């Protein structure tokens, strides 16, 4: 929500919904609870543990003016050598540079850690999400003293790290819901939880965690911190069990969500629109989904048509044509990222797993198979929730290996490439 020019999260609304949800648990009993959210955003606490200021949304543009200051203190090359993170203007380290409260705050808690703190009174920094801050050393798995000091941040700002599966306190009695319920640290970065639930049956797979963002890449055991990886803006995020998610962010279904919002349509209208889009000729016009024009909230269709006009392509007119342009462009983005992930990491890809809400988008899954020339397995849709619960179940000794269980129990759909991927070769060059 925007107020006086700043884009904020409604963090207390989210917290209230969590408490409401807990109050409705059938039977009034839980063996464990784990919190995950999106990455990078945070709340700052004062000396008495109070929240200083309302957390700001990563789509706010407050970092635009501070990025060069940060890079003057630590070069992008050195940052990448230490944190292995793709450059995204909203990485926590840039947000902190734009946040006047960072100088006086006592503690920084990333969103899921903030919710956990409110639920339990205990503070910590869960590793998978800490790895998205830019302040975390991808090789050692600890906060990077060098980056923290170079940026003039106090090391005490950052709480002690914890890993998925660690205990994270108990629900406080004064919440009035399920008092004493154990809280377990999970892959608190939603993408870490989602990838923990990929139903892969062998090592040579790629994944696309497809929702508001498409996070497309491969899973590795060690970070890849090469110049070529940096140039391609690949990230090394920490996964559950110390795995490395070597991936790139692609703008994702945000392009569709914001288009629907502009047209005053809801997700219930999407199936009919996608059906109509399937009848529009393929690859008439494509956009670079990652162009910064598409990042902020607002009228998406007019930004898409402006891009097509600027690049001399046919201008999509109807909603179905715009949806087709978006879905084609995302499939192209998936293809480019996965080809690079494989080349940069040396991992051959035999199958692509699409998980998350986008795995229910049959047109996008089929076009991703066509564009990559690889078989696609789609599902589960609720991968993040399943990965979150799976880590808790494992911490309780209820299972040892989540992926085979997901593969055996979740409905999955399979897509094979419909034809040669040649038309996509030409289209990729139009992305620039």
Using CB under 6 A, list all residues that contact ligand LRH. Answer: 38-40, 58, 189-191, 212-213, 215, 249
Whole-angstrom CA distances from 61 to 3, 189, 271, 288, 362 are 13, 22, 33, 20, 34
If the CB atoms of residues 182 and 187 are measured against ligand LRH, the closer one turns out to be: 187
140 CB-near residues (< 8 Å, 6+ apart):
none
CA–CA separation, 313 vs 333, rounded Å? 18
Distance CA 131, CA 122 (A): 20
Polymer length of the chain: 432
Q: What does DSSP assign to residue 212?
A: S
Query: Pairing relation of β-strands 205-210 and 235-238?
Result: unpaired
Q: How far apart are CA 247 and CA 138, in angstroms?
A: 14
Distance of closest approach, residue 297 Cβ to ligand LRH, in angstroms: 14
Displacement of CA 204 from its chain's centroid (Å): 22
Cis peptide bond prior to 380, omega within 30° of 0: yes
Do 66 and 94 meet the contact criterion of CB atoms below 8 Å apart? yes
| 356: region left, alpha or beta (phi > 0 left; psi from -120 to 50 alpha) | left
Closest contact distance (angstroms) between CB of 310 and ligand LRH is 27
Strands (E), 277-412: 351-355, 376-378
Residue in this structure with the two tokens 């589960």, named with its chain if needed: 380
Residues with catalytic function:
190
Q: Which is nearer to ligand LRH, 182 or 217 (CB)?
A: 217
Shortest Å distance, C-beta 132 to ligand LRH? 6
**Listed residue (190, 169, 193) closest to 241, CA to CA:** 193
189 or 394: CB nearest ligand LRH = 189
Q: Least separation, in Å, of the C-beta of 211 and ligand LRH?
A: 6
Closest separation in Å from C-beta 253 to ligand LRH: 11
Residue 235 or 392 having the CB closest to ligand LRH: 235
DSSP structure string for 162-213:
E-TTSEEEE--GGG-SSTT-EEE----BHHHHHHHT----SS-EEEEEESSS
What's the min distance (Å) between Cβ of 385 and ligand LRH?
A: 13
- Name the residue nearer to ligand LRH (CB basis): 137 or 190: 190
- Nearest approach in angstroms of CB 80 to ligand LRH is 16
DSSP bridge pairs for 414: 377
Q: Report, in Å, the least distance between residue 238 CB and ligand LRH.
A: 12
Burial group, residue 175, by CB count within 10 angstroms (0-12, 13-18, 19+)? middle
Q: Which is nearer to ligand LRH, 62 or 189 (CB)?
A: 189
Residue 117 CB neighbour total at 10 angstroms? 22
Residues contacting residue 9 through CB under 8 Å, at least 6 positions apart: 1, 41, 54, 55, 56, 57, 111
Contact predicate 79/102, CB 8 Å: no
Nearer to ligand LRH, 267 or 318 (CB): 267
Nearer to ligand LRH, 300 or 322 (CB): 300
């Amino acid at each position: 929500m925007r107020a006086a020019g700043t884009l904020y999260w409604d963090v207390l609304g989210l917290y209230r919904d969590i408490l409401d949800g807990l109050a409705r648990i059938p039977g009034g009993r839980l063996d464990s609870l784990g919190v995950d959210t999106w990455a990078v955003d945070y709340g700052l606490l004062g000396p008495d543990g109070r929240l200083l200021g309302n957390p700001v949304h990563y789509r706010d543009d407050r970092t635009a003016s501070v990025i060069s200051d940060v890079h003057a203190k630590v070069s992008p090359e050195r940052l990448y050598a230490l944190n292995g993170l793709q450059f995204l203007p909203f990485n926590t380290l840039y947000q902190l540079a734009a946040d006047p409260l960072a100088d006086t705050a006592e503690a920084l808690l990333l969103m899921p850690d903030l919710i956990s703190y409110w639920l339990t009174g205990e503070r910590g920094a869960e590793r998978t999400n800490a790895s998205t801050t830019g302040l975390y050393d991808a090789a050692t798995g600890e906060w990077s003293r060098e980056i923290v000091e170079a940026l003039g941040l106090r090391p005490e700002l950052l709480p002690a790290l914890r890993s998925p599966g660690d205990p994270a306190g108990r629900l406080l009695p004064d919440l009035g819901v399920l008092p004493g319920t154990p809280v377990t640290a999970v892959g608190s970065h939603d993408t870490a939880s989602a990838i923990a639930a990929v139903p892969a049956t062998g090592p040579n797979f790629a994944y696309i965690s497809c929702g508001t963002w498409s996070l497309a890449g491969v899973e590795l055991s060690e970070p890849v911190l090469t110049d070529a990886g940096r140039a391609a803006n690949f990230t090394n995020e920490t996964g559950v069990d110390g795995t490395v998610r070597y991936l790139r962010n692609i703008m994702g279904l945000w392009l569709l969500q914001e288009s629907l919002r502009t047209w005053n349509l809801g997700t219930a209208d999407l199936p009919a629109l996608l059906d109509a889009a399937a009848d529009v000729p393929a690859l008439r016009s494509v956009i670079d989904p990652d162009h910064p024009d598409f990042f902020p909230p607002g009228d998406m269709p007019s930004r898409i048509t402006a891009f097509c006009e600027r690049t001399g392509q046919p201008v999509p007119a109807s909603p179905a044509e715009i949806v087709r342009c978006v879905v084609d462009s995302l499939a192209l983005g998936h293809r480019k990222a996965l080809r690079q992930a494989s080349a940069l990491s040396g991992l051959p890809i035999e199958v692509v797993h699409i998980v998350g809400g986008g795995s229910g988008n049959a047109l996008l899954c089929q076009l991703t198979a066509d564009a990559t020339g690889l078989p696609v397995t789609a599902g589960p849709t609720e991968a993040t929730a399943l990965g979150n619960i799976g880590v808790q179940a494992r911490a309780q000794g209820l299972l040892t290996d989540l992926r085979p269980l997901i593969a055996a129990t979740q409905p999955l759909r399979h897509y094979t490439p419909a034809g040669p991927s040649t038309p996509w070769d030409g289209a990729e060059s139009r992305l620039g």
